[in-house]
A and B are shown apart, each in its own frame.
Chain A
């Protein structure tokens, strides 16, 4: 077939016949990888589901101690970053190099903001001694729906363990995403991406959106349990 036609694009790897095949393979590969990621978080969601079912009141008490405003703000930040990602891709498709670079920078700034807010949240939890471990303390915190009853600190500790593992893994994914986007920014700066070829941008974007989706679920599940008055 078109095996000998790499006259225009040095990015076409030798074992692919056409650019379309290469691009489709790359994005398909990313989707498959995201399937893996879903199951990776899935194990945690399974653990979460079971303990939330068992210890609903305690989870509510623990959840209420987290600053939901910060979590909500972080959700908004991530949603904005997802928008800037699609705009960056759109800019690449329409040969707007400056816009593309601007959007990539903005995406990374949003990502950093997210991690910053996350850091504030973690610091709060640390001060309140809500980090599981030897210094953990959650004494005499009433259960929201049964205010005359205190939450069981051991069960609250399970909540916080899940909270830290889930948000921590999510933050790790954000950090990896920032790494990917630094590389994309560098490549965009070098002028690697054209309307014909911007596959890395697309699959990097897929990853970023996936991380956003995980957060879309983490936010209500971790921050908004049993919050009503």
Chain B
């Protein structure tokens, strides 16, 4: 990390950082405004999509996951999300189907 950032892209990260920062602030404003609209059941979906986009931006650019030379870190992130979804989805499956039958 040290080697390449100093010499090769001395300037470019700054533009990216500020652009991401701007996008994140915009996203925050968007979430807030979207919550005031009546989208029915899609309110939650919109909020989560915006939040996930913001989280992705932070992970990819601020935490440098995008530039990571190895696939390993991406694998860690992907499998963590996988197991988190597993926890949420399988528990919700029980709650969602309890009133059947």
Contacts and interface: CB of A to CB of B under 8 A. Distances in A.
Contact of B84 (A31, A38, A76): A38
Given A79-B25, A83-B21, A224-B31, A45 B62 contact: no
Contacts, number: 133
A50 B92 contact: yes
A196 B55 CA distance: 29
Interface string B5-17: 1100010011001
Contacts of A43: 87
A224 B47 contact: yes
Contacts of A27: 73
Task: State the main secondary structure of chain B at its contact with A.
Answer: helix
Contact of B10 (A94, A205, A220): A94
Interface in B1-48: 1-2, 5-6, 10, 13-14, 17-18, 20-21, 24-25, 28-29, 31-32, 35-39, 43-44, 47-48
A76 B30 CA distance: 12
A119 interface: no
B84 A39 contact: yes
B100 interface: no
Contacts of B6: 93-94, 195
A229 interface: yes
A38 B83 CA distance: 10
A43 B87 CA distance: 8
Interface in A36-75: 38-39, 42-43, 45-46, 49-50, 53-54, 68, 72, 75
Nearest to A95: B6
Contact of A76 (B1, B25, B51, B79): B25
A228 interface: yes
Interface residues of B, number: 50
Interface string B54-66: 1100110111000
Interface in A186-227: 195-198, 202, 205-206, 209-210, 212-213, 216-217, 219-221, 224-227
B2 A46 contact: no
Interface of A: 23, 27-28, 31-32, 34-35, 38-39, 42-43, 45-46, 49-50, 53-54, 68, 72, 75-76, 79-80, 82-83, 85-87, 90, 93-94, 195-198, 202, 205-206, 209-210, 212-213, 216-217, 219-221, 224-229
30 contacts: A27-B73, A38-B80, A45-B88, A46-B91, A50-B91, A68-B32, A72-B28, A76-B25, A79-B24, A80-B21, A82-B21, A82-B62, A83-B21, A86-B62, A90-B13, A197-B2, A205-B63, A209-B58, A213-B58, A216-B55, A216-B58, A217-B51, A220-B35, A220-B47, A220-B51, A224-B35, A225-B44, A228-B38, A228-B39, A229-B36
